[in-house]
Amino acid sequence: MNFGAIGQYLKSAFSDNGNPSSSRLLTVPHSLVACGCLIYVVIKTHGFPDGTVLAGLGAFATAHYAINRATTAFGKDKKDKDKTDVNVQVDTKV
């Protein structure tokens, strides 16, 4: 078994374009905890949980990654934003 290849795969799986991603690492234990909670609810209630419980557990498990993606999408992850000056010409003739 080639552990070097497995290590490279895990390194790339938990990174964003080569940068370490704590949001992906935090999603793993939170997903495991959510699965444990789901199993506990099924055992205690002897049935499947409703959509509210499933949505709450899903939000708990993926909140870190969703916040990371949202900040990247809106450009909040960049420290030095270049500010663009917009020149607007107003026509004063009426």
Tens-digit pLDDT profile for residues 77-86? 666 555 555 5
* C-alpha span between 59 and 24 (Å, rounded): 14
- Locate the domains of the chain by residue range: 22-73
- What's residue 88's pLDDT? 62
- What's residue 86's pLDDT? 58
Residues 6+ apart with CB under 8 A from 65: 23, 24, 27
Burial (0-12, 13-18, 19+ Cβ within 10 Å), 17? exposed
End-to-end CA distance of the chain: 80
CA angle 33, 22, 57 (to 5 degrees): 25
Of 62, 13, 66, 61, nearest to 36 by C-alpha is 61
Give the pLDDT mean for 65-77. Answer: 76
* C-alpha span between 48 and 86 (Å, rounded): 56
**Span of 13-17, 24-28, 37-41, 50-54 with lowest mean pLDDT:** 13-17
- What's residue 56's pLDDT? 92
Tens-digit pLDDT profile for residues 6-22? 788 777 777 777 776 77
